Structure 1
Amino acid sequence: MSTFSLSRTESPQAFVSSFAPRVRTYQNSLLTPAIQPQNAIPPLRTTKRGTTAINYSEDFENDSLVEDSDAPRRPTGLRSLRQNESQTVVTTGPVQSTELTSAVDVQGIWREWMGKPKKAMTERQVMLQAQLPLNLVPIRIDLSVSPFQPEAPLPKPQIGRDLGVDENSPAYKAPDITPEFRIKDSFLWNLHEALMTPDQFAKVFVDELDFPLERRPALAIQVSQQIRTQLEEHAAVVMHPPFNPTPT
C-alpha cells in the first residue's frame, strides 16, 4: 500500500502579473465600468417673460399629409420633446474603450502575496475528493466596486537612487483613479467541493483583481456569501430523491 504525504508546497508560478491592469484597461465581461446614464433634454424656447414657449401648430403640422404615405413623419414640437426626454446618453469615456484583437504589452504588477509558495493538495486529499459525487451548481457573482486608487505597479527600491533606478518611471507611479466598476462572473461549483472553500476562493478572487487592501475583506465576504447563498438554494433541488435515485 502506497504512503501519502501529509503536506506539500509548490513553487510560485510567477512573481508579477498583468491580469488586473488588463481587465481595468481593456474591454471584458468580468470588470465593466458602471457608467450612470444622463438624460439628454433639448433646450426649451422661452418668451420674454421667461415662460416656456409652446407652438401647438408644430405638433399638428404633419396632420395634413396624406395618410397612406409611406414616408415616416418628422417628429416636431411637443411630440419630439416627449421622445427626447425618454432618450438617454451613455458614454464610457477613455476607460475600457479599446477592444483587444491580439496580445498587448501591459506593465505587470508585484504584490506581497505573489511569489510565495502555495500549499498544494496531497494525493490522499485528491483521491478522497474524487470519490465524492459531482453536482455542479451554476454560480453568478454580481457586485459593485466604488472608485479607487490602484497602487503603483512596483514598489520603489530602498536603495534605488544608489543603483541608478529612475523613480519617475511609470512602473513606480500610481495609476489614475478608476471609475465605479461592476463585477459580473459566472462559473460552476461542485456542491461536494472539499479542496477549496468559498472563503478561500473569494480571497484569491479579490487578490488577483488587485483591489485596495482595506476593501478586500469586505469584497471577499460578499463574494463568499453569494456563493454560499446559491449553493444553499440549489442544494434542496440537487439532493432531492428524484435527482438521486437509490440503486436497486
Structure 2
Amino acid sequence: MTKIIGLIGGMSWESSAQYYRIINQEMRERLGGVHSARSLMFSVDFGEIEKLQHKGDWATLTAEMIDAAQRLERGGADFLLICTNTMHRMADEVAERISIPLLHIADPTAEEIKAAGYERVGLLGTAFTMEQDFYKGRLTDKYGLNVLVPNDADRAVVHDIIYRELVAGQVLSTSRAAYRDIIARLVERGAQAIILGCTEIMLLVQPEDSSVPLFDTTTLHAKAAVERALGNGG
C-alpha cells in the first residue's frame, strides 16, 4: 500500500489542481489500471494568504502553515508537501513542528538540474521567491547552483502577472509573450536553464517559449511525491 501524501494547497487552487492531476496521473502510470494516489489536502483561502504576504506578515503566515501541516499529520499523512514555492519561506519552521517528513520543493528541482549538468540557472517566481534568500540560498548552498533573477522591471512584471492573472486562472497571450522576452534576457545573461519557480507559471509558459530547458517546480515536486509514496526517495 502506498504512503499517504499530505498537501497544503490553495496557494492558489489553480496550481493545487495541477498537483492533484499530476500526482494521480503519475501514480496510474506507475501502477497501471485505475490506480490513484492516497492523499489528503488542506486548502487555505488564498485571499487571506495573499493579503498577509503583501503586508509582510510572515509570522501569521508561518502559524497558518504550521496549523495546516499539523492538521494533515493528525489526518494520517505520511509526509507533507507545501504546494507553493513562496511559502517555503517558512519550510524549516513547519518541519520543526511536525514529526513527518516535509518534501521541500527546491530539492527535486535542483536534483534534476544537477543531473542534467547545468550550473547557471534563471529563476522566475513571485518577488518574494526571486528577491529573498530562502529559495535561492538553498539552491546555492545545498546544490552549488548559480542563480540569476530578472532585473527590477522584469521582476515586477513576473510578479504582477502571477498575482493579477495566473492565480485567478487567467492565461493571456500578452503575458506569455512578456515572460518569453524575460526568459530570453536571462538566457542572454548566461542562464543555461530556467526554473519556473512559482507553481502557477506552468499554466502560462511552455517549452517552446524558451531556447533553454525549463524546470517546472510543480511537476517535479508532484512526481517526487509519487516516488516518496511508492517507498522511494527517502
TM, length-normalised to structure 2: 0.23
TM, length-normalised to structure 1: 0.22
Structure 1 or 2: larger helix share?
2
Larger Rg: 1
